[in-house]
């Protein structure tokens, strides 16, 4: 089976490569459309979604990724990556598009400016114990959860900050910045399940 791609147009893609490598995966950077065909899964990192969107279209990689997403390839998006996977962006910068796939609407910068970044311990039932220590940096939230998407974690006030839909996973926060790689493992497990036809 092919290597695991990390979208490397902008953002903290190196941290994701480190996590995937630590977990024993063969990780490769993805920037061009011809690099999309070989991968068995993709991580979309944190960063700035409006820039990532523009670059993904300028590099011609957006359409190739949309096709793979529609074809069921596992994709895990963190923060800006969650925005890229959302079908709807409530308050995108003018003309901002997403790859889509997750039946959710996201609100960008939902907690305010960079200075409103925070950390929280989250219960994530699919990951079990202990709770996940989550780092939120100018994070988006899931403002509307569509029927086809499932919430994986919420803040104490009920705000959805992690979602799943088939082989797609999105988190508002950044596990690649902590030492808790259970979300990345959960994502890698989807790739293995898919390739073994489970
Ligand atoms: N605020 C950024 C955006 O809208 C996301 C921030 C992040 O990825 N840490 O794309």
| pLDDT tens-place string over residues 96-113 | 999 999 999 999 999 887
Task: Give the closest residue to 155 by CA, choosing from 171, 175, 138, 178.
Answer: 171
Residues 6+ positions from 196 with CB-CB distance below 8 Å: none
Of all atoms in ligand 1, which is nearest to the CA of residue 108? 4
Q: What is the pLDDT of residue 49?
A: 97
User: Do the interacting molecules here have an ipTM over 0.90?
Assistant: yes
E-assigned strands of 49-96? 75-78, 86-89
Distance CA 11, CA 14 (A): 8
Token pair of 68, please?
């793979």
Q: What mean pLDDT, rounded, does the chain reach?
A: 96
The reply, when asked if residue 95 is annotated as ligand binding, is no
Burial class (CB within 10 angstroms; exposed 0-12, middle 13-18, buried 19+) of 30: buried
Distance CA 136, CA 98 (A): 21
Q: How far is the CA of 140 from the centre of ligand 1 (A)?
A: 7
Task: Using the predicted structure, report yes or no on whether residue 95 has a pLDDT greater than 80.
Answer: yes
Task: Using the predicted structure, report yes or no on whether residue 92 has a pLDDT greater than 90.
Answer: no
Task: Using the predicted structure, report yes or no on whether residue 50 has a pLDDT greater than 90.
Answer: yes
Residue 114 pLDDT grade (very low, low, confident, very high; cuts 50, 70, 90): confident
Return the active site residues.
79, 174, 176
Check if CATH label 3.30.70.260 holds for domain 4-195: no
Task: Using the predicted structure, report yes or no on whether residue 139 has a pLDDT greater than 70.
Answer: yes
The reply, when asked if residue 129 is annotated as ligand binding, is no
Q: What is the pLDDT of residue 116?
A: 79
Task: Give the closest residue to 32 by CA, choosing from 4, 57, 68, 69.
Answer: 57
Task: Using the predicted structure, report yes or no on whether residue 198 has a pLDDT greater than 70.
Answer: no
Task: Give the closest residue to 183 by CA, choosing from 152, 157, 150.
Answer: 152
Ligand 1 residue neighbourhood (C-beta within 6 Å): 46-49, 79-80, 83, 108-109, 137-138, 140
Q: What is the pLDDT of residue 186?
A: 98
Task: Using the predicted structure, report yes or no on whether residue 47 has a pLDDT greater than 90.
Answer: yes
Task: Using the predicted structure, report yes or no on whether residue 120 has a pLDDT greater than 80.
Answer: yes
Q: What is the pLDDT of residue 197?
A: 75
Q: At what angle do helices 49-58 and 61-70 cross, to 10 degrees?
A: 100
Give the closest residue (by CA) to ligand 1 atom 8: 46
Instruction: For residue range 149-180, list pLDDT tens digits in order.
Output: 999 999 999 999 999 999 999 999 999 999 99
Q: What is the pLDDT of residue 73?
A: 98
Q: How far is the CA of 20 from the centre of ligand 1 (A)?
A: 21
Q: Number of C-alpha atoms within 13 angstroms, CB side, residue 100?
A: 13
């Amino acid at each position: 089976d092919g290597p695991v791609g990390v979208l490397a147009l902008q953002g903290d893609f190196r941290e994701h490569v480190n996590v995937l490598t630590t977990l024993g995966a063969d990780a490769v950077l993805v920037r061009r459309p011809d690099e999309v065909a070989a991968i068995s899964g993709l991580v979309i990192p944190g960063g700035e979604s409006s820039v990532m969107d523009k670059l993904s279209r300028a590099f011609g990689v957006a359409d190739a990724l949309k096709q793979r997403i529609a074809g069921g390839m596992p994709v895990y998006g963190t923060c800006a990556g969650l925005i890229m996977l959302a079908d709807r962006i409530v308050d995108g910068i003018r003309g901002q598009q997403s790859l889509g796939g997750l039946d959710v609407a996201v609100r960008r910068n939902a907690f305010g400016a960079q200075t409103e970044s925070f950390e929280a311990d989250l219960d994530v039932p699919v990951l079990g114990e202990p709770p996940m220590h989550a780092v939120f940096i100018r994070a988006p939230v899931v403002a509307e959860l569509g029927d086809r998407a499932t919430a994986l974690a919420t803040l104490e006030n009920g705000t959805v900050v992690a979602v799943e839909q088939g082989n797609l996973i999105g988190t508002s926060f950044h596990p690649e910045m902590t030492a808790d790689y259970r979300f990345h493992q959960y994502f890698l497990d989807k790739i293995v399940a898919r390739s073994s036809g489970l």
